[in-house]
Structure 1
Amino acid sequence: MASKVAVRKAALREKLVSLAEARISSGGLRALKARDLAKDAGCAVGAIYTHFEDLDALALEVNGRTFVRLGAAVSAAVDGHEGSPHERLIAMSLAYLHFAADQPRLWRALFSADVSSDGPVPQWYVDALGGLFEHIAEPVAELFPGFDARELDLMVRALFSSVHGIVLLGLEKRISAVPIDGIERMIAQLLVQVGNT
């Protein structure tokens, strides 16, 4: 049985992650400031650093949660879906688009945090991203049955990058912005061609 101190530490850690998630959701990564977070949590600034090496590590923890939620949204889009591989890819991509549109700051934080595959990325973070790619890999494997594991991985990453680019540019409030239904059509037009060349 965990000691009272261990329980309090675990509760503070969870509270810090939840508060950081709320701050990132409302103001983006730049809203994550140690003093403000400590005030929200009712703790000393130093207490944050007993749980996390730095604010990047805390943001990474929030990103891990976001990846899990994103993976669940993508998975739910195809649970029980008996359509073609193209239809499933489109359904997953639209779920990705709508998650990004509904949670824009958390979604952007996934790709803004200082994370590199060359650096010390926690395994749980790699697993969360891998889970997202696994959903994409199933219909892609059906479309390209002759691909070995490396070719399949590259195609999954290429399709993810393509859809991500469409979503990112489409949601920008700049000259490249298009309405959501236009982004949906762009994604469908791209994915319906996959494997048909």
Structure 2
Amino acid sequence: MARKSQSVENVSQYHHGDLRSALLEAALKALSEPEPQPLSFRDLARRLGVTTAAPYHHFRDRTDLLVQLAIQGLGLLFLEVNAAAEPGDSLKAKIRAFTLAYLRFARTQPGYYRLIFSPEVRSAGESVPEFREASNKSFDLICRMLAEDDPDLSKKAARERAVSLWALLHGLAVLSSAGTLTRRLAAADENRVAVDAAIRLLC
């Protein structure tokens, strides 16, 4: 009887339009676990105590939900890296701030970070304008920093250098989260090594 009452209470709660947010939150929580398991609408519905049909009122399917969640994550990543440096800072200071903010996001938001770079989301997101726009913002920020420092730098050269930084930071973030990096580099030294490498690449 208690279980039935709890289920009725949850369904009533989500009738007020917040099931979409609850589904996104539940998915993020599941993806943030140390060893996340594949998600299905059935799993999410069970976590929230709603019917298996309820998620379809807010998302076309599981992939649609994950893309929308990734858009949220990309927005948060941009806010982190964009706020890290002051407009009048030198390029070295901006690169240092960007590097530390990026790695901090990867460490503190593992669910979002894994999702942003998952093959399923990247593939499906290419047909979603909001995803493409969100995924470009942090990359374009690097290009702008480089262009502001050197107005003669071509767009092609700026993008190539931005790709180098992106590859460096993503590689470090993935190796760190997997525990592979700690066998070769002390955790206390990760930020210093990352900043030094980023500055050598771009400055």
Instruction: Specify the TM-score bucket, using the shorter chain as the normaliser.
Output: 0.7 to 0.9
User: Helix, strand or coil: the match of 1:45?
Assistant: coil
User: Residue 144 of structure 2 aligns to a residue in which SS?
Assistant: helix
Judge which range, 87-96 or 37-46, deviates more. Answer: 37-46
Match of residue 126, structure 1, among 117, 123, 132: 132
C-alpha change, 1:125 and 1:31, in structure 2 (3 Å) is same
In the alignment, which residue of structure 2 is the partner of 1:185? 192
Matches within 5 A, 1:80-159: 80=86, 82-116=88-122, 120-159=126-165
TM-score, normalization: structure 2? 0.78
Q: Verify the 8 A CA contact 2:125 2:131 in the aligned structure 1.
A: no
Residue of structure 2 in register with 1:51 after alignment:
58
Q: Deviations over 1:17-69 (max 9, x none)?
A: 22222222235652523222112333221222343232122111111111111
Alpha carbons 2:24, 2:65 under 8 Å: kept: yes
Give the distance between the partners of 1:118 and 1:187, measured in 2 at CA.
31
CA distance in 2, matches of 1:194, 1:144: 15
Is this contact kept in 1: 2:116–2:122, CA < 8 A?
no
Q: Could you say what secondary structure the match of 1:18 adopts?
A: helix
In 2, are the aligned partners of 1:170 and 1:179 still within 8 Å (CA)? no
Contact 1:16-1:37 within 8 A present in 2 as well: yes
Q: Which residue of 1 aligns with 2:176?
A: 170
Q: CA separation of 1:175/1:138 partners in 2, compared to 1, >3 Å: closer, same or farther? A: closer
* Pair member with larger Rg: 2
Query: Match of 2:190, as an amino acid?
Result: I
Contact 2:77 2:105 in 1 (8 A): yes
Runs of 4+ that moved beyond 6 A: none
Partner of residue 75, structure 2: 68
Cα pair 1:52 1:58 within 8 Å, conserved: yes
In the alignment, what sits opposite 2:37?
30
**What percent of counterpart residues are identical?**
25
* Partner Cα distance (2:51, 2:166) in 1: 41
CA distance in 2, matches of 1:57, 1:113: 14
* In 1, Cα distance between equivalents of 2:125 and 2:44: 26
Contiguous gaps of at least 5 residues in structure 1: 1-6
**Please, what is the CA RMSD of the aligned residues?**
2.7
Question: Hey, what's the Cα distance between the residues in 2 that align with 1:9 and 1:101?
Answer: 34
Asked if the contact 2:41–2:55 (Cα under 8 Å) also holds between the matched residues in 1, the reply is yes
Stretches of structure 2 lacking an aligned partner (at least 5 in a row): 1-13
SS state at 1:26 partner: coil
Q: Tell me, yes or no, if the aligned pair for 2:81 and 2:101 is still in contact at 8 Å.
A: yes
Tell me the TM-score normalized by structure 1: 0.80
